Amino acid sequence: MTDNGRRAELASSLDRVRDRIARACTAAGRPPDAVTLTAVTKTYPASDVLLLAGLGVTDVAENRDQEASVKADAVRAEGVRLRWHFVGQLQRNKARSVAAYADVVESVDSVRLAEALGRAAAARENPIEVLLQVSLDGDPARGGVFGDDLWRVSDAVTSSEGLRLGGLMAVAPLGEDPRQAFARLEVLAGQMASRHPGASTVSAGMSGDLEAAVERGATHVRIGTSLLGMRNSLR
């Protein structure tokens, strides 16, 4: 496919996603600009990221450091500045690499990870915004902080000069009505904002459940498939 053809394809998908977000906001009694689209560009080339940037996308997300670091460098080499989100499970030994390009890390779920990321971010001009990944079902295999550990991790983030606590991130558990899951997230987000004023970001909702997330107060939705198409494992 030519660049023009791919641009037209992405533009059409982006219009549909933006329309879904706008309609979800209207249904929830929220202004359309209350929700930011974060394009999940994992497995897709830097050329797609550049096309999306040209179409007005400002936030992009990756979940693997090895791919993300190369892609971020390639995009920046073209003079394009975006807000890069890291959304994958992050190992402490990758914190320094991620801190070199990520503006937001959405998957902090332990005190030790917060401390490692804070040390890695200490030399940055601007702090990294951190979203705490919340487990909505308590399943340790899926990642995320659960119960009172949420407050211990949030305190670890706020005590680090290299980090800024932005809010929460969550994924709806498989097999559960996402509205019920995101209702629990909404309660936690309210508690977080009360305990840490300014930590009001809620990253929730993907291609299949963005409407439920917007209904329950999401400020950011992470969209991949509906925007870029089905992923090919051979990409």
- pLDDT tier at 232, thresholds 50, 70, 90: low
Domains, the chain:
3-228 (3.20.20.10)
Per-residue pLDDT for 234 more than 60?
no
Residue 130 CB partners (closer than 8 Å, separation 6+): 104, 105, 108, 114, 117, 157, 163, 164, 165, 166
Q: 113: part of which helix (H) or strand (E)?
A: helix 111-121
| Residues 6 or more apart whose Cβ sits within 8 Å of residue 31 | 25
Read off the pLDDT band of 140 (50, 70, 90).
Answer: confident
- Answer yes or no: are the C-beta atoms of 103 and 85 closer than 8 Å: yes
Q: pLDDT tens across 60-97, in order?
A: 999 999 999 999 999 999 999 999 999 999 999 999 99
Contact 51, 10 (CB under 8 A): yes
- Which structure tokens are listed for 145? 């902080």
